[in-house]
Amino acid sequence: MRLVVISDTHIGGRFDEMVFYDGVKIVNSLKCDYLIHCGDLTNDGTLAQYEVAKLYLETITKKPFLIVPGNHDTKNVGDLLWEEMIGPRYFVHVDNKNKVKILGLDSTEPDSNTGRMGPKGIKRIYEEFGELPEYWLKVLVFHHQTLPIPYTGRERSAINDAGDAVKAILDCNIHIVINGHRHISNVYKMSDGALQAWIVNCGTLSCKKTRYREGYSMTVIDVNRAKNNLIIRSIILKHDSTKEKISFNGRFQEVIPPITKEPWVSLIQIGNTDVSAGMFNTRIFDKAVNIINNQETDLLIHCGEVTASSHLYEFELAKELLDQIDHKKLIVPGVKDAYPLGYELFPEFICEMNPSFVDDKLHILGYNSCIIDEKEGRLGRGNAREIVEKLATNSKIGVVVFNHTIIPLPRTKHDSELMDAGDVLASLVNNRINLVLTGAKNRAGCWQVGDTIFANVGTLSSYNLTTRAGNSFNMINIFKTDIGHYYEIDEYLLEVNKKRNIGNFHVSDTVEPMQALRKLKFQV
């Protein structure tokens, strides 16, 4: 079964007609079951551009041809023109013979580069996929991305409710998610500890605004239901030739629990203490200290927001309170610790802003991801290089710690992540860094992207609660297994004195070699 994906044609703008026709020749010559366009058919959403775009679309002969709008298509009230001239802004395609369901959603907001799925879109995901048997292939298509994409500069174009979308994708065990928007192809495998989802980003077919060295491209996804695997390729287009880039080949796979496991590393992850006169819950902090001091752990890690406002008295009190915790500690600053005065007080009262920890099993690098007086953060190229140099070839468990989120959290606006999140995420995942710990947004969550585990922590002692579960901290236990390491992540709920499991991940130490594949046959 084959899906061919094109995107971001931008007809009427910086449109390359010659390469568009080259791409259409390939599309029409390939054997495929479904042709999908991920949006930005036009550049400005005007009537003239839609009229011209319809003429270009007539050159595409493949059916079914499934298409969703992009942010450029809904400019200038283009959403109404889309419905009049192209069709509905979302679709449900059901293939009963092949047991395939493809849901296309409109993630655009008029005259905005950012997007939003919205409550109706999220609900539609659950309605279409929630009760669908697992032997069906589930495919979700929309224009904007959920996970940050490398080589795209500042991260500012994901959907605002990306966390809710990611949760729905993982809750419904959707197999393939297809996006466009950023004009570069990319593939991630993502899991919450159950079935893996493949997040596929498609490049631009014919817009002269290309990214880095990729140029124009289309994506081909081959799915073998009998073997339960897939192959994802990017076809790089030029006026006189094509180049095939294998993005991924592997399996849809569930997490396999280990037969035997040996305790290896134990970590306690806290964050968002918010020490202050108004936001700090003394009672719950004292309770947390008592519980934490009775746990055996290799290290306690604080992921930022030690104070509520970077005031002097807050840092003085925070030092006194954190000294009550008996374990070794590694602490990084959060946004509220990095107001101008905080840059002076954090190193004086807490620790250096980029701390590290090394023992016989762990190598941990902590970073100040904050920018003074801004909610957004930045890790930076230098720190990203240091992570790879120190952790990628290390036989120890490599851990990176900073405050800002990379993976979007449910029920929060995706607006205070790292501005270089796309390049940071790719660097962490491509170099198989073991564990990444973050602390923004006061909500716990954990995910696997590639072979890297990401865990965000809730608030230990702030009154600023964003979940009815209340104050909490994470307990991370890592076990050595016959193939690699098994991660058990629990959130300890302080009000009810109970821990709940939020993720189990089994990661192999070895990388499966990529198979040599026969090249596609197509005409240019």
**% the chain with pLDDT above 70:** 98
Average pLDDT over residues 362-379: 93
The pLDDT score that the predictor gives to residue 412 is 85
Encode pLDDT of 129-141 as tens digits: 999 998 899 999 9
Q: Residue 300 is which amino acid?
A: L
Q: Is the pLDDT of residue 155 over 70?
A: no
Q: Which two tokens stand for residue 517?
A: 């594949």
Tell me the HSE value of 252 on the side-chain side, using a 13 A CA sphere: 22
Tell whether pTM > 0.85.
Answer: yes
Q: Structural domains in the chain?
A: 2-251 (3.60.21.10), 263-508 (3.60.21.10)
Q: Are 9 and 41 in contact (CB under 8 A)?
A: yes
Q: Indicate the pLDDT class of residue 241, thresholds 50, 70 and 90.
A: confident
**CA neighbor of 444 nearest in space, from 519, 396, 494:** 494
Beta carbons within 8 Å of 144's beta carbon, 6+ residues apart: 71, 107, 108, 114, 115, 157, 158, 159, 179, 181
Distances (CA, A) of 321 to 280, 316, 324, 438: 11, 9, 5, 21
Encode pLDDT of 93-138 as tens digits: 999 999 999 999 999 998 888 899 999 999 999 999 999 998 899 9
More confident residue, 466 or 49: 49
Encode pLDDT of 252-308 as tens digits: 777 788 889 999 999 999 999 999 999 999 999 999 999 999 999 999 999 999 999
Encode pLDDT of 308-320 as tens digits: 999 999 999 999 9
The pLDDT score that the predictor gives to residue 248 is 81
Q: Is the pLDDT of residue 524 over 60?
A: no
Strands laid side by side in the 216-224 sheet: 65-67, 34-37, 2-6, 216-224, 229-237, 242-251
> For residues 444 and 440, what is the distance between their CA atoms, to the nearest angstrom?
9
